[in-house]
């Protein structure tokens, strides 16, 4: 496991590699962001942006999604995985926003996770990006990078990864660290072919050293 000095080195290196890392889901308000993040489960941001380009022109408010049959929403997001359950959750979520929150997206993680289709990760992303609340959302990239580097243990659950990162990363860096780790995982430390030979963190990385031995 990495010590605090080594973790600091990891954070600084990722900052140098991806100084402009930020959320890649296109949106113009908190409501669009919630819908986009909900759609992004087990799906690439690229595909979500392709779908929401038309979706957000057609549906502007929670009322708009409820003014059409479920089948129509399904049809509009059909190219996205799990589109049936996502369409159902979108309509449920919109109903809750209208009934309980005057059609507005709530700002706290505690309220956000009560919405249909919104788990911890989605709540953290929305709180961080839409409302500037320090958060570390643990997606597949953040989890993989944390475990490979040895910031977290292999057996840690997503919640344990989140808690460990919140403990070891300064609070004011939580949100930007989330984005940098995603970029590091998406473009460098990939699931199948991590770029270990050219990685500036190789000397610290238990997984990278193991992989390099196999190559050698």
**What is the rounded distance in angstroms from the CA atom of residue 163 to the CA atom of residue 174?**
11
CA 101, chain centre distance (Å): 24
Q: Which of 121, 168, 190, 213 is catalytic?
A: 121
**Residue 189 in marked binding region:** yes
Q: Residue 165 CB: number of other CB atoms within 10 A?
A: 21
Q: Is 155 a residue of the active site? A: no
**Residue 43 in marked binding region:** no
Q: Which of 76, 86, 139, 168 is catalytic?
A: 139
**Residue 205 in marked binding region:** yes
Q: Is 12 a residue of the active site? A: no
Please write down the HEC assignment for all residues of the chain: CCCHHHHHHHHHHHHHHCCCCCCCCCCCCHHHHHHHHHHCCCCCHHHHHHHHHHHHHHCCCHHHHHCCCHHHHHHHCCCCCCHHHHHHHHHHHHHHHHHHHCCCCCCCHHHHCCCCCCCHHHHHHHHHHHHCCCCCCCCHHHHHHHHHHCCCCCCCCHHHHHHHHHHHCCHHHHHHHHHHHHHHHHHCCCCCCCCHHHCCCHHHCHHHHHHHHHHC
**Residue 94 in marked binding region:** no
Known binding site: residues?
A: 189, 196, 199, 205
Residues known to be catalytic: 121, 139
Known binding site for [4Fe-4S] cluster: residues?
A: 189, 196, 199, 205
């Amino acid at each position: 496991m990495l010590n605090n000095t080594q973790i600091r080195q990891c954070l600084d290196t990722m900052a140098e590699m991806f100084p402009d890392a930020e959320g890649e889901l296109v949106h113009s308000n908190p409501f669009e962001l919630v819908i986009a993040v909900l759609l992004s489960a087990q799906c690439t941001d690229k595909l979500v942006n392709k779908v929401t380009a038309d979706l957000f022109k057609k549906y502007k408010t929670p009322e708009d999604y409820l003014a059409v049959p479920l089948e129509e929403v399904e049809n509009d997001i059909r190219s996205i995985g799990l589109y049936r359950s996502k369409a159902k959750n979108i309509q449920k979520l919109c109903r809750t926003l209208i009934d309980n929150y005057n059609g507005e997206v709530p700002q706290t993680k505690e309220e956000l996770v009560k919405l249909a289709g919104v788990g911890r990760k989605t709540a953290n992303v929305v709180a961080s990006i839409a409302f500037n609340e320090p958060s570390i959302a643990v997606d597949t990239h953040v989890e993989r990078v944390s475990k490979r580097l040895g910031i977290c243990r292999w057996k840690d659950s997503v919640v344990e990864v989140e808690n460990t990162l919140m403990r070891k990363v300064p609070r004011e860096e939580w949100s930007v660290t989330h984005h940098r780790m995603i970029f590091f995982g998406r473009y460098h430390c990939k699931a199948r072919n991590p770029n270990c030979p050219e990685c500036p963190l190789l000397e610290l990385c238990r997984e990278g050293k193991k992989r390099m031995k196999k190559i050698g």
